[in-house]
């Protein structure tokens, strides 16, 4: 079992904020005001298939351009990608993962983080460390970024966040929860709704009667099955595999910080040595096509979000995430053995 190192074994470094500025909240492309029921979204163009790009804009954009315009954009982006495959081949190889200074000023924050049960229980499959990583060279699979949410993050951070604020943004051991609602739909189903796309089904949990001691129930309990819905650990997390660093969680925070000029951030890094281990800790996208991210000479990198030739920013219809949980019960008699 892999164990996170003690705080004294960790190294950290943070870059100086640069000149990159944040956009204004509440505005869409070219500064146009967003409709009240819309968000601003960025979509990476050129690498997903053209039909995926067209479908996303057609299904989500408030005022989608003609398909001919979008097709021309995609072709231009594709040409840019072909250029990058020649000029930046190998850029994703051997990214910076900075080891730790024993007397780091981040030691108290690291000590608090390593006490978190979600760290101990959620990152114990492969060798894992907390380190500072370079944002621009991280491989990404997320095709779109919710810029409205990014502006909210930046509004809380301010234009020049301190080192502690950056650390707590990337590795929030207090686990703030976005707003949510849930209710029973009928006798066998419940629905949970949140604007956060991190809302998820966390699995079924076998419980003992003592775990629900303060909940009224009509009978003498022998066992309880819990169907859990909630948010993930919400740590900035990356998988280090085959000399590349793939962003596994935290795309919006990575984008928000990079746009503020911060180039190195704290991250939980999981070191994967085999494709079998990758199956255990990698995202669904990474597991589905690992060679696209681990073998391609120039995969999508976080820096591509900021290349105007590789992105389209559009006002999109606001969506909320819904999780519906349904259970069934079967009662019968079977012959005794």
pLDDT in tens, 133-183: 999 999 999 999 999 999 999 999 999 999 999 999 999 987 777 889 999
Residue 25 has pLDDT above 60, yes or no: no
C-alpha–C-alpha distance, residues 285 and 270, integer Å:
17
Q: Is residue 306 part of a domain?
A: yes
C-alpha–C-alpha distance, residues 72 and 74, integer Å:
5
Contacts of 174 (CB under 8 A, 6+ apart): 168
Lowest mean pLDDT: which of 32-36, 235-239, 283-287, 290-294?
A: 32-36
Q: Is residue 221 part of a domain?
A: no
Q: Is residue 248 part of a domain?
A: yes
C-alpha–C-alpha distance, residues 62 and 227, integer Å:
36
Residue 4 has pLDDT above 70, yes or no: no
Provide the domain count of the chain. Answer: 1
- pLDDT number for residue 29: 52
Lowest mean pLDDT: which of 49-58, 84-93, 106-115, 208-217?
A: 208-217
Query: What confidence tier does 39 reach under pLDDT thresholds 50, 70, 90?
Result: very high
Please name the helix (run of DSSP H) or strand (run of DSSP E) that holds residue 265, with its range, or none.
strand 264-272
Structure confidence by residue, pLDDT tens digits, 220-276: 888 889 999 988 878 999 999 999 999 999 999 999 999 999 999 999 999 999 999
Q: Is residue 190 part of a domain?
A: no
Region 117-138: mean pLDDT is 92
Structure confidence by residue, pLDDT tens digits, 77-118: 999 999 999 999 999 999 999 975 645 788 888 888 888 988
Looking at the DSSP bridge assignments, the partners of residue 244 are 241
Supply the range of the domain harboring residue 250.
7-177+232-321
Q: Is residue 265 part of a domain?
A: yes
Tell me the CA distances in angstroms from 213 to 138, 204, 206, one per residue in order. 47, 19, 15
Q: Is residue 327 part of a domain?
A: no
Q: Which of 138, 105, 114, 123 is nearest to 13 (CA)?
A: 105
Region 32-60: mean pLDDT is 88
Residue 289 has pLDDT above 80, yes or no: yes
* DSSP output for 68-123: HHHHHHHHHHHHHHHHHHHHSTTTTSS--EE---TT-TTHHHHHHHHH-HHHHHHS
Q: In this structure, are residues 304 and 310 in contact, taking their beta carbons and an 8 Å threshold?
A: yes
Region 45-51: mean pLDDT is 88
Q: Is residue 277 part of a domain?
A: yes
Please name the helix (run of DSSP H) or strand (run of DSSP E) that holds residue 191, with its range, or none.
strand 189-194
CA angle 51, 57, 63 (to 5 degrees): 145
- pLDDT number for residue 179: 87
- pLDDT number for residue 5: 43
Looking at the DSSP bridge assignments, the partners of residue 323 are 192
Range list of H helices, the chain: 50-60, 67-87, 107-115, 117-122, 147-157, 163-170, 251-259, 275-281, 284-288, 290-294
- pLDDT number for residue 50: 93
Give me the sign of the Cα torsion angle 259, 21, 151, 321.
negative
Q: Which of 113, 179, 119 is nearest to 152 (CA)?
A: 179
Q: Is residue 101 part of a domain?
A: yes
- pLDDT number for residue 219: 83
| For the chain, percent of residues with pLDDT exceeding 90 | 63
Contacts of 167 (CB under 8 A, 6+ apart): 12, 106, 109, 266
Residue 295 has pLDDT above 80, yes or no: yes
C-alpha–C-alpha distance, residues 275 and 152, integer Å:
37
C-alpha–C-alpha distance, residues 214 and 211, integer Å:
8
Q: In this structure, are residues 163 and 15 in contact, taking their beta carbons and an 8 Å threshold?
A: no
Residue 3 has pLDDT above 70, yes or no: no
Tell me the CA distances in angstroms from 249 to 27, 228, 235, 236, 271, one per residue in order. 26, 21, 7, 5, 15
- pLDDT number for residue 247: 97
The DSSP bridge pattern shows strands 244-249 and 237-241 to be antiparallel
C-alpha–C-alpha distance, residues 310 and 306, integer Å:
8
| For the chain, percent of residues with pLDDT exceeding 70 | 89
């Amino acid at each position: 079992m892999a164990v996170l190192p003690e705080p004294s074994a960790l190294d950290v470094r943070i870059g100086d904020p640069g000149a990159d500025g944040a956009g204004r909240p509440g505005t869409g492309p070219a500064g146009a005001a967003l409709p009240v029921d819309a968000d601003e979204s960025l979509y990476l163009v050129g690498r997903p298939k053209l039909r995926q790009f067209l479908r996303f804009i057609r299904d989500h954009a408030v005022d989608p351009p003609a398909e001919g315009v979008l097709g021309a954009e995609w072709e231009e982006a594709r040409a840019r990608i072909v250029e990058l495959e020649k000029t930046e081949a190998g850029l994703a190889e051997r990214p910076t993962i900075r080891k730790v200074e024993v007397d780091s000023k981040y030691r108290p924050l690291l000590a608090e983080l390593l006490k978190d049960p979600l760290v101990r229980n959620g990152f114990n499959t492969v060798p894992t460390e907390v380190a500072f990583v370079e944002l621009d060279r991280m491989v990404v699979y997320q095709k779109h970024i919710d810029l409205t949410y990014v502006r909210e993050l930046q509004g809380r951070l301010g234009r020049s966040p301190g080192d502690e604020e950056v650390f707590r943004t990337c590795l929030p051991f207090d686990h703030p929860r976005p707003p949510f609602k849930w209710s029973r739909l009928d006798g066998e189903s419940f629905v949970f709704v949140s604007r956060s796309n991190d809302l998820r089904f966390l699995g079924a949990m076998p419980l003992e009667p003592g775990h629900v001691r303060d909940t009224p129930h009509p009978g003498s309990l022998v066992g309880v099955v819990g169907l859990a819905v909630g948010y993930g650990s919400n740590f900035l997390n990356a998988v280090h595999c085959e000399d590349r660093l793939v962003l596994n969680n935290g795309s919006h925070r990575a984008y928000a910080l990079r746009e503020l000029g911060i180039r190195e951030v704290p991250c939980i890094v999981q070191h994967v040595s085999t494709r079998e281990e990758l199956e255990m800790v990698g995202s669904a996208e990474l597991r589905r096509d690992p060679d696209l991210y681990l073998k391609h000479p120039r995969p999508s990198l976080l820096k591509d979000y900021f290349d105007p030739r590789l992105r389209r920013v559009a006002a999109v219809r606001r969506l909320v995430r819904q999780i519906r949980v349904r259970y069934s019960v079967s009662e019968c008699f079977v012959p005794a053995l």
